[in-house]
Amino acid sequence: MEKFSTITSRAVPLDEENVDTDQIIPARFLKAIDRQGFGENLFRDWRYDEHDSPKADFILNNDAYKGSILIAGKNFGSGSSREHAAWALSDYGFKVVVSSFFADIFKNNALNNGLLPVQVSNSFLSIMLKKVQQDPAEEIEVNLEKQTITLLRTDESEPFEINPYKKKCLQNGYDDIDYLLSILKKVDAYEKGTTV
Amino acid sequence: MAKTLFDKIWEKHVVDRIPDGPDVLYIDRHFIHEVTSPQAFSGLEQRKIPVLRPEQVFATPDHNVPTMDQHLTIGDRLSRLQVDKLTENCNKHNIQLFHLQHENHGIVHIIGPELGITQPGQTIVCGDSHTATHGAFGTVAFGIGTSEVEMVFASQCLLQYKPKRMRITVDGELNPGVVSKDVILYIIAKLGAGGGTGYFVEFAGSTFRNMSMEARMTVCNMTIEMGARGGLIAPDDKTFEYVRGKKLSPVGAELEKKIEEWSQLYTDEDALFDIEYVFNAPDIAPMITYGTNPGMGIPIDEPVPTNKGEEKSLDYMGFKQGQHLLGMPVNYVFIGSCTNARIEDFRAVAELVKGRQKAPNINAYLVPGSKLVEKQIDDEGIREVLAEAGFTIRQPGCSACLGMNDDKVPKGEYCVSTSNRNFEGRQGPESRTILASPLTAAATALTGKITDVRTLV
């Protein structure tokens, strides 16, 4: 996994609540057997019409908005456990998703792929959405070490929570499997009802 | 100290604790299917490591499979590739596979319990959010992503933060025409689609005690639809009787010893929950959803509510605030999915449609959850009853629940569906899903419009 430190970027404001994983990547695009290429179908049915033409009113089709930060409404990533949702967001180029609330499984999937879910307050989310909608050139800094997210132009900032273990994994590019493989002796002992 | 059932099972499975970090949780049973496992197998190959405990992994292709002519080669190239890849991976890693032609093939959350793989007190995971279904047996069961599937392959463990505890108590008798699906839709409507996020739920009270195992599975299945990691119900004699005699259940003295252990699986009287909800069963009516998340549910005879912020969702559904949905024409009905494709669901449908006829405008997908359910449908004469009423039974699979195969609902059409999600486009691009119980779906199939089953019985 790639190491994560500080990201400074413009953002894409997706002003929708309850964005479920079926919207992020519809089930009919889950037939691949590798992890690549899902970005093409990110938000497929919001992004393209039935003739595969881009829908002009969808935010990803608006050239004014760019960047590696996605700002979305409350309760992002609910529904299916498909990790393809996290893969699609990463593959498209996002490194951070900001919302005021994340679904549990999505949050784990994102973290396991080096995609940082940043949970902010409802009020800060509204400010962020408004600022970026008003000025697409607004820059945002996400500092993992300090655990802060900042609107750089006005220096409005909010701290965010992340578990110390997960933080360390992201900063060092470790994944959980590396750790689990290092304790297989303990697993074996657990199965035998003994301790190491 | 008094403990909840959830705490008892969780603590028994903690292999190690990372300071300031998650628990290392041991996993007893790991179910896999064709859609969320291939990348996990590739991950193992890249690391050149084996599946640590293949005998604890069980596989079935269900999401992507056709529900007609399953004896033929799968027509869709990508679906076939995914199903073939599952077979190849299971052969390579010595994993038991209930392949498409296997007599025990079916939807992963239907076959686990009916084969006795699911047993009280276990930790169970699957790369599928509806893994919560198995909680009906008093298990800690939850859905995981593909990276986590790879972790379980590699170590039979997961790094997990312990969720908070929620108890939902429902007491009393259900009204006629009201079934377990209505109970869970009612609860989700009360708590909202994110109301359970961060929690593991225990369902308690006489209403759940009085439910069959099939009905309890429907309840636990949809726990994820309010955002909760999972939901469980303390096992009792009904649970033990259900497990007894299943193909892979323990037998003889071993089973009796297990039942003794399983009898200790309950929440202590003084145990504390982080949050509690209490509801009355007689308050619950047949429920339908009117929007694009499962929290948007109403009693079938009530109008679409006037809630702020639901305009876009109502626009998608083509509904207006204050509109009554009863009597609205519908052309599609789906009876199936890991929520409602068990024998009890088909028995209830058969009882209602017996001597009646399917409405001519209705396209009905009736999809049993497994080959065993299909066999029971035949053995009990249900196929004939349904055929006389104009219905065809398809072959097992996830089918129109998520529209990965050909069983889709066309653009703009409404479908009264016994599945678990009414998200935009869930049953096909721009399809409109109305979640309901099998009884409501069957009543709708008979009249061709949204129908209160209480007017037909």
Give the chain A residue whose CA is nearest to the CA of B159: A176
| DSSP one-letter string for B287-305 | EEE-SSSTT-EEETTSPPP
Residues B400-416 have a mean pLDDT of 96
> Residue B284 falls within a domain, yes or no?
no
Contact B39 A186 (CB under 8 A): no
> Residue B343 falls within a domain, yes or no?
yes
| DSSP one-letter string for B106-140 | B-HHHHHHHTT---TT-EEEESSGGGGGGGGGS-E
Contact A180 B154 (CB under 8 A): yes
Residues B440-453 have a mean pLDDT of 98
Any B CB within 8 A of A15 CB? no
pTM: 0.97
Residue A1: predicted pLDDT:
82
Tokens read off for B88: 């190849």
Half-sphere exposure of A5 (CA within 13 A, CB side): 0
ipTM: 0.95
Q: Last residue of a domain, which of B136, B160, B184?
A: B160
B36: nearest CB among A18, A82, A166: A82
Q: Which of residues 147-186 of A touch B (CB under 8 A)?
A: 163-166, 175-177, 179-181, 183-184, 186
Q: Last residue of a domain, which of B110, B142, B160?
A: B160
Tokens read off for A142: 């996400």
Contact A26 B42 (CB under 8 A): no
Q: Which of residues 44-63 of B touch A (CB under 8 A)?
A: 47, 49, 52, 63
Q: Which of residues 90-129 of A touch B (CB under 8 A)?
A: 101-105, 108-109, 112-113
Give the chain B residue whose CA is nearest to the CA of A105: B144
CATH assignment at residue B379: 3.30.499.10
Q: Which of residues 25-44 of A touch B (CB under 8 A)?
A: 26-28, 30-35
Half-sphere exposure of B185 (CA within 13 A, CB side): 34
Q: How many CB pairs under 8 A join A and B?
A: 177
> Residue B450 falls within a domain, yes or no?
yes
> Residue B193 falls within a domain, yes or no?
no
Q: Which residue, A143, A116, A188, is CA-closest to B156?
A: A188
What digits encode the pLDDT tens for the residues A79-129? 999 999 999 999 999 999 999 999 999 999 999 999 999 999 999 999 999
Contact A82 B18 (CB under 8 A): no
Q: Which residue, B284, B311, B315, B338, is CA-closest to B172?
A: B284
Give the chain B residue whose CA is nearest to the CA of A182: B155
Q: Last residue of a domain, which of B160, B188, B204?
A: B160
Contact B293 A184 (CB under 8 A): no
The structural domain count of chain B equals: 2
N- to C-terminal Cα separation, chain B: 50
> Residue B135 falls within a domain, yes or no?
yes
Q: Which of residues 308-367 of B touch A (CB under 8 A)?
A: 309, 312
Give the chain B residue whose CA is nearest to the CA of A186: B15
Q: Which of residues 263-292 of B touch A (CB under 8 A)?
A: 292
Contact B404 A28 (CB under 8 A): yes
Residue-range definition of the domain harbouring residue B393 = 310-455
Measure Cα distances from B279 to A196, B168, B173, B205, B348 in Å.
Answer: 47, 8, 12, 9, 25
In this prediction, the residues of chain A whose per-residue pLDDT falls under 70 are 195-196
Biggest CA–CA distance in chain B, Å, is 65
Contact A22 B63 (CB under 8 A): no
Residue A194: predicted pLDDT:
78
The band of B279, judged by pLDDT with boundaries at 50, 70 and 90, is very high
Measure Cα distances from B109 to A84, B37, B40, B212 in Å.
Answer: 21, 16, 20, 16
What digits encode the pLDDT tens for the residues B64-100? 999 999 999 999 999 999 999 999 999 999 999 999 9
What digits encode the pLDDT tens for the residues B29-53? 999 999 999 999 999 999 999 999 9
B16: nearest CB among A30, A82, A186: A186
> Residue B233 falls within a domain, yes or no?
no
Return the residue in B155, B199, B398 with the most chain A beta carbons within 10 A, the one to mutate for interface testing. Answer: B155
Distance from CA of B73 to the nearest CA of A (A): 17
Give the chain A residue whose CA is nearest to the CA of B428: A28
Give the chain B residue whose CA is nearest to the CA of A83: B145
Please say whether the beta carbons of A79 and A21 come within 8 A.
yes
> Residue B382 falls within a domain, yes or no?
yes
Contact B423 A176 (CB under 8 A): no
The band of B457, judged by pLDDT with boundaries at 50, 70 and 90, is confident
Residue B285: predicted pLDDT:
98
Residue A196: predicted pLDDT:
65
Kindly list the residues from chain A whose CB atom is less than 8 angstroms away from the CB atom of residue B43. 177
Please say whether the beta carbons of A52 and A33 come within 8 A.
no
What digits encode the pLDDT tens for the residues B356-383? 999 999 999 999 999 999 999 999 999 9
> Residue B240 falls within a domain, yes or no?
no
